Amino acid sequence: MIDLDLPFTDTGLMIGDFQNLDWMDFENLKNDVMIGHTIGGKHIILIVKFMMQIKKREFKNFLQCFVWEPGKGKNIWRGHQGGINFMEIDNIMTEKQFNFLSSLTDHNPGVIEECHRPVETSYIGKLIGTPTYWRRKKAVEIIERNWIICRYDPRYKMCGDVLMHNIEEAREEYLTSLHE
């Protein structure tokens, strides 16, 4: 289920063709996943930024828009030709596409499969997520790397403290074994 309580982007007064989204300023979108609507609320627009991992440190950026008409059913979203799409949607999203999109909008990564109907077959098997997911993943990797350095490099106090603790623990075990 796509959360309609997502951050709101002001689509402003539309100038131009709604179908092309030529009126939207994509560069100034503040969040990775946002909701907007047309004047009068006839259409709800879901705008999502994605990053697909091409290689270990190489990514391709996407910005895909989806449209929903209130009253047409909660899961009946349509693709929109505006933006840079990774997923092909002829008319209405399939259930697998909808579930994949729902997971991605919750900042969970996903592997693109053929059933998601990617725009290019080379996208199949690639990991995709929102920029928030990739920032969090990078932060975790930095923390893990620095933890290992701090834990095992003798120049750091923590390494010395752990070493002294281990020596003391071994000494206590040895002394206890002598008294048994």
The candidate with the shortest Cα–Cα distance to 4, out of 33, 32, 26, is 33
Map residue 58 onto helix, strand or coil: strand
> Tens digit of pLDDT for each residue in 51-106?
999 998 899 988 888 877 777 666 677 776 666 788 887 777 888 988 898 899 88
Task: Output the pTM of the full model.
Answer: 0.73
Cβ–Cβ under 8 Å, residues 98 and 1: no
Give yes or no for residue 26 having a pLDDT over 70: no
The candidate with the shortest Cα–Cα distance to 112, out of 88, 139, 134, is 88
Beta strands 58-68 and 110-111, pairing class: unpaired
CA 117, distance to chain mean position in Å, is 19
